[in-house]
């Protein structure tokens, strides 16, 4: 055996040790949850409680591995955060959000999808919740393995739907709620993409398309960061702190505006106080968005932990409630503290152990991101949720964030195509052999502001009207020059794969849950 083969074996063994370590840590967490639940319970329901805790811990880890990537993926892809830094920040703030502001009444998971009054006994209800938890977790595990970001809410909702139908038929399902969820498959990514593209175009028009980018950044960046602080503070009050601080929409927006105004004043003072902090380059302007993106990743993680922890432990809390009450199915029950701990720790651990794959997909494998583009995606994520919640539109935070990434990529494609068309017009209106004049014109064109570019093109076309085909090109050659060269800045393969995963999430998890329900019932019945 030569040295090359030995090196290959060592590399493979090193990768294998990493996989074994991650798997071992995950198993250790689940075993710890099982032991704690065994000590907490007693009587006939103790075994059921241990099974539910085990599956709930597994579900929480899968949510951390898949769903949290949407909060930190753009920041990592833009190099505002390292992967290790993003994992630490997200893990801390996800757990903090779950423990401090999580624990809303679990009515949506328990009662919003199916009608518990149509379930004939408490044992059947417990089996439904067990099957839903396991099916949702298995689907998320599969999606994470292939690097597809999917909605954990849709996963658990589909699973509750499938298990409920298996237990009591289609009549148990609230089909109007399911219709809203199906509508969110389209509404969420479209709104996210539109908002992200609109913000990116605003940034380009107001900063990067200006001749003096440094001066434009000093004027515009404080406004953009202040707007970000306003929307994020409002989002956090409405969605992240709604359990510990109940305020109406208008009050939340007023409090957010105060925060945004303070941030605007601070950022403006910093940028104007040191003229050397911003150079007349795109890279220098990009660096101004680094700190806001770090705060955005933290706040999005906190809000996600406070809201989506119910996806992991909602069914588990329902089972704990039934077991502890002696078989009584309550419509409203709060989540016990130890169950919240399972969700908080599981989400953080799953993110740290298995999250990097989906983070890379969102951050770098759809389109190339920089700090300005990541800023636009973060703004789209918060603004879409706020607007949609006030309009009563069903949305998914996963679909919004990924839709924002695609929106940014497709806008970049359009702008690149448009620029190529303008360069083609420049070449078409210069003599064929006058290469120096063409290059000089393009150089001036690139340095000009967007208004000056339009005027230069208009002047060029006007001058060409007084000449007899100055470029000496044939009609076919001229048509070819005017064709838009479309550079694909968005990976279509990722678009198709992610869209397919979104569409089949609810039916796939529903089918898995139905099969698992029958299996669990078969094992539990005497």
How far does Cα 442 stand from its chain's mean position? 39
pTM above 0.85, yes or no: no
**What is the tens place of the pLDDT at every residue in 465-520?**
555 444 444 444 444 434 433 445 677 777 788 888 888 998 999 999 999 999 98
Q: Which two tokens stand for residue 184?
A: 């969110």
How much of the chain exceeds pLDDT 70, in percent? 79
Contacts of 214 by beta carbon, 8 Å cutoff, 6+ apart:
278, 279, 280, 284, 285
Judged on CB neighbours under 10 Å (0-12, 13-18, 19+), 274 is exposed
Averaged over 320-349, what is the pLDDT? 75
Q: Which of these, 377, 354, 350, 424, lies nearest to 95 by C-alpha position?
A: 350
| pLDDT at residue 482, as a whole number | 43
- The sign of the dihedral angle between the CA atoms of 165, 170, 175, 179 is positive
> What pLDDT was estimated at residue 227?
93
CB 157, CB 140: distance < 8 Å: no
Could you give the 3-state DSSP secondary structure of residue 34? helix
CA gap 133, 115 in Å, rounded: 18
- In this prediction, residues 27-42 reach a mean pLDDT of 84
* Residue the block writes with tokens 């918060």: 382
Q: Is the dihedral of CA 330, 333, 335, 337 positive or negative?
A: negative
The pLDDT of residue 111 is 52
Residue 430 has pLDDT above 90, yes or no: no
Report whether pLDDT(136) > 70. yes
Residue pair 281/213 in contact by the 8 Å Cβ criterion = yes
Residue 108 has pLDDT above 70, yes or no: no
pLDDT in tens, 215-244: 888 889 999 999 999 998 998 888 767 767
DSSP state for residue 115 in the 8-state scheme: -
Give pLDDT tens digits for 440-456.
Answer: 777 777 777 666 767 77
Q: Name which of 366, 374, 278 is nearest 80 in CA terms.
A: 374
pLDDT of residue 334: 64
Q: What is the pLDDT of residue 347?
A: 86
Share of the chain above pLDDT 90, in %: 16
The model's pLDDT over 377-428, given as tens digits with 9 standing for 90+, comes to 988 888 888 887 777 666 777 888 889 989 998 888 888 877 777 767 666 6
Over residues 182-224, the pLDDT tens digits come to 787 788 889 999 999 999 999 988 898 888 888 888 889 999 9
Residue 162, pLDDT above cutoff 90: yes
**Average pLDDT taken over every residue of the chain:** 79
Euclidean distance between CA atoms 439 and 434, whole angstroms: 9
Q: How far apart are CA 405 and CA 409, in angstroms?
A: 6
Find the mean pLDDT for residues 259-285. 84
**Is the Cβ–Cβ distance between 371 and 80 less than 8 Å?**
yes
d(CA 167, CA 466): 81
- Predicted pLDDT of residue 105: 42
For the segment 367-373, the average pLDDT, to the nearest whole number, is: 88
Instruction: Give residue 480's pLDDT.
Output: 45
Instruction: Please state which of the ranges 17-21, 49-53, 424-428, 483-487 shows the lowest mean pLDDT.
Output: 483-487
DSSP labels for 315-342?
A: HHHHHHHHHHTTS---S--PPPHHHHHH
């Amino acid at each position: 055996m030569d040295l090359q083969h030995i090196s290959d074996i060592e590399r493979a063994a090193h990768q294998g040790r990493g996989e074994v370590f991650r798997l071992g840590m995950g198993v250790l967490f689940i075993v710890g949850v099982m032991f704690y639940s065994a000590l907490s319970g007693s009587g006939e329901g103790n075994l059921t409680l241990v099974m539910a805790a085990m599956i709930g811990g597994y579900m929480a880890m899968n949510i951390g591995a898949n769903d949290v990537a949407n909060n930190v993926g753009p920041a990592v892809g833009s190099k505002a955060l390292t992967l290790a830094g993003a994992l630490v920040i997200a893990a801390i703030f996800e757990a903090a959000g779950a423990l401090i502001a999580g624990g809303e009444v679990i009515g949506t998971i328990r009662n919003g999808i199916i009608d518990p009054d149509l379930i004939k006994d408490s044992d059947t209800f417990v089996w439904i919740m067990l099957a839903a938890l396991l099916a949702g977790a298995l689907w998320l595990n599969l999606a994470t393995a292939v690097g597809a970001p999917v909605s954990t809410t849709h996963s658990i909702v589909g699973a509750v739907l499938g298990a409920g139908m298996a237990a009591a038929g289609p009549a148990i399902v609230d089909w109007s709620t399911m219709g809203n969820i199906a509508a969110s498959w389209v509404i969420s990514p479209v709104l996210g993409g539109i908002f992200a593209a609109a913000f990116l175009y605003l940034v380009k028009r107001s900063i990067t398309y200006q001749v003096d980018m440094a001066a434009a950044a000093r004027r515009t960046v404080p406004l953009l960061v202040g707007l970000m602080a306003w929307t994020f503070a409002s989002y956090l009050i409405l969605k992240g702190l709604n359990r510990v601080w109940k305020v109406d929409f208008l009050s939340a927006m007023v409090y957010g505006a105060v925060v945004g105004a303070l941030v605007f004043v601070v950022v403006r003072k910093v940028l104007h106080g040191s003229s050397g902090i911003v150079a007349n380059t795109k890279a220098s302007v990009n660096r101004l968005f680094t700190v806001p993106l770090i705060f955005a990743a933290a706040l999005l993680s906190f809000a996600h932990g406070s809201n989506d922890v119910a996806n992991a432990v909602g069914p588990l809390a329902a089972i704990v409630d039934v077991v502890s009450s002696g078989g009584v199915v309550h419509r409203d029950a709060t989540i016990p503290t130890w169950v919240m701990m399972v969700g908080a720790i599981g989400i953080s651990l799953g993110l740290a152990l298995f999250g990097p794959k989906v983070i890379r997909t969102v951050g770098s494998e759809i389109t190339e991101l920089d700090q300005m583009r990541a800023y636009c995606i973060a703004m789209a994520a918060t603004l879409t949720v706020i607007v949609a919640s006030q309009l009563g539109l069903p949305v998914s935070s996963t679909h919004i964030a990924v839709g924002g990434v695609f929106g940014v990529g497709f806008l970049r494609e359009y702008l690149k195509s448009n620029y190529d068309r303008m360069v083609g017009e420049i070449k078409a209106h210069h003599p064929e052999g006058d290469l120096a004049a063409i290059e000089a014109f393009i150089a001036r064109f690139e340095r000009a502001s967007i208004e000056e570019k339009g005027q230069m093109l208009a002047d060029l076309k006007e001058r060409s009207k007084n000449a007899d085909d100055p470029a000496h090109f044939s009609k076919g050659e001229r048509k070819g020059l005017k064709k838009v060269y479309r550079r694909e800045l968005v990976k279509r393969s990722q678009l198709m794969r992610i869209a397919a995963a979104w569409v089949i999430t609810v039916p796939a998890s529903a089918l898995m849950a139905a099969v698992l329900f029958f299996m669990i019932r078969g094992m539990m019945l005497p």
